[in-house]
A and B are shown apart, each in its own frame.
Chain A
Amino acid sequence: MTKIRTGEITTHVQRLPAAGRPADGSEPDVVVFVHGLLTDSLASYYFTLGPAFAAAGFDVIMYDLRGHGRSDRPATGYRLESFVGDLAGLLDALGETRRVHVVGNSFGGTVAAALAAWHPDRVATVTMIESEPPVAEWTRHMADGLADAKSQLSREDVIGWISAHHGAHTARLSRGASRILRVTTLAEDIPAGRVIDDDLSALNCPVLAIFGDESGLSAQVDSLEAKLASCRTVVLAEQGHSVLVERTEETRDLILEWIRDHTLAGAVR
């Protein structure tokens, strides 16, 4: 297990080297995967997209967000800018000076977009899987959702209901989520973080956004396409928020194809 100092915390990182080198002898592009909040960790990529991208010739970086997985869990410090600082610090610590492709699931996509907005020199492309960019409306959604999760998941009768209707596995994940919310200020900090302007003018790199049609987040499609200079949106039919878990192969293929079209050296086939 590799743990790296990134600012004031220690971050758990897993890297998978590209299976081969580009034909022209250049360095392989780097893809960084960012997981979602509360029930998530880098394991979501380690057993899914990570190996596939390394096999496809990309250097892969996966890491645990602060408070999650095997990274440190400080009691405070969960504003978006801290998550972005950790990611920039991780790239510094790994000596990664090239622009990277950042793929984020749910909140991870928001971190990816924020890195692109605040550190545009570090990001080649952003992929958001069921995510919102960090605009003011996003903070309101998060405030409501996190406050709700914090109060509901602390109740044993709610955990019992989750166990009965969604199984022991989901119930255990819910307990883990409740623990993070109880021992940290995450639920209060995330809605209080820095945002970007609603016009998304801060987001200048190419963006791929993938949604499920049954998720409320897919309502952003028109707005994203209108506001972003370079944007591709994909909406998967009969699919809710759990795109990465339930539609892993389609998601993998969409992102692979799109990143191959946007490598630093130009499109490769």
Chain B
Amino acid sequence: MSTEAIGIMTTEPLDTDDAAVLADITRMLRELLEEDGLDDAEISRETTFHDDLELESIDLVTLAGVLREHYGDRVNLALFIADLELDEIIALTVGELADYVAASLRANGQG
């Protein structure tokens, strides 16, 4: 592996990508919440889907479709959530989802 490749994997651009992913997800959630008339909700990394945004599991199905439309098959929310216990799903935060999406994009070589 060249030093150039190591540099790409370890320095600044990744942080920017993580921020971009968080911004993308925040925008998707705003659009989703707008349909429910809850578009003024605060959204940060610590925001939980269940308690803060009051999203139900069927809303996560919709979000999964939006994520796939945006990122393609690289991001599979169903597989991510299938690995979680019910209490983990209930406690899931926007930041955890953003981390998963960013990691999925990196794993597929397009971070």
Chain A residues at the B interface, C-beta cutoff of 8 Å: 1, 14, 41-44, 46-48, 50-52, 64, 69-70, 168-169, 172, 176, 245
- Classify chain B's interface size: 10 to 19
Q: How far is the CB of A259 from chain B (nearest CB, A)?
A: 19
State which of B58, B60, B81 has its C-beta within 8 Å of the C-beta of A64.
Answer: B58
**Nearest opposing residue in chain B for A44, CB measure:** B57
Q: Across the interface, do B90 and A169 meet the contact criterion of CB distance under 8 Å?
A: yes
Query: What are 9 A-B interface contacts by the 8 Å CB criterion?
Result: A14-B65, A42-B61, A46-B64, A47-B78, A47-B89, A50-B78, A51-B76, A64-B58, A169-B50
Q: Across the interface, do A1 and B62 meet the contact criterion of CB distance under 8 Å?
A: yes
Q: Across the interface, do B56 and A47 meet the contact criterion of CB distance under 8 Å?
A: no
Q: How far is the CB of A162 from chain B (nearest CB, A)?
A: 15
Docked Cα-Cα span, A43 to B90, in Å, equals 14
Main secondary structure of the interface of B (DSSP, over half): helix
Main secondary structure of the interface of A (DSSP, over half): helix
Docked Cα-Cα span, A172 to B58, in Å, equals 14
The residues of A that contact B90 with a CB separation of less than 8 Å are 169
Residues 67 to 111 of chain B near chain A (Cβ within 8 Å): 76, 78-79, 81-82, 86, 89-90
Docked Cα-Cα span, A52 to B50, in Å, equals 25
Docked Cα-Cα span, A14 to B68, in Å, equals 13
Q: How far is the CB of B65 from chain A (nearest CB, A)?
A: 6
Q: Mark B35-51, 1 if CB is under 8 A from A, else 0.
A: 00000000000000011
Q: Across the interface, do B58 and A47 meet the contact criterion of CB distance under 8 Å?
A: no
State which of A43, A50, A51, A52 has its C-beta within 8 Å of the C-beta of B58.
Answer: A43
Q: Across the interface, do B61 and A14 meet the contact criterion of CB distance under 8 Å?
A: yes
The residues of B that contact A46 with a CB separation of less than 8 Å are 57, 61, 64, 78
Q: How far is the CB of B54 from chain A (nearest CB, A)?
A: 7
**Nearest opposing residue in chain B for A49, CB measure:** B82
**Nearest opposing residue in chain A for B90, CB measure:** A169
Given A1-B65, A245-B86: A47 and B50 interface contact (C-beta under 8 Å): no
The residues of A that contact B86 with a CB separation of less than 8 Å are 245
Q: Across the interface, do B81 and A47 meet the contact criterion of CB distance under 8 Å?
A: yes
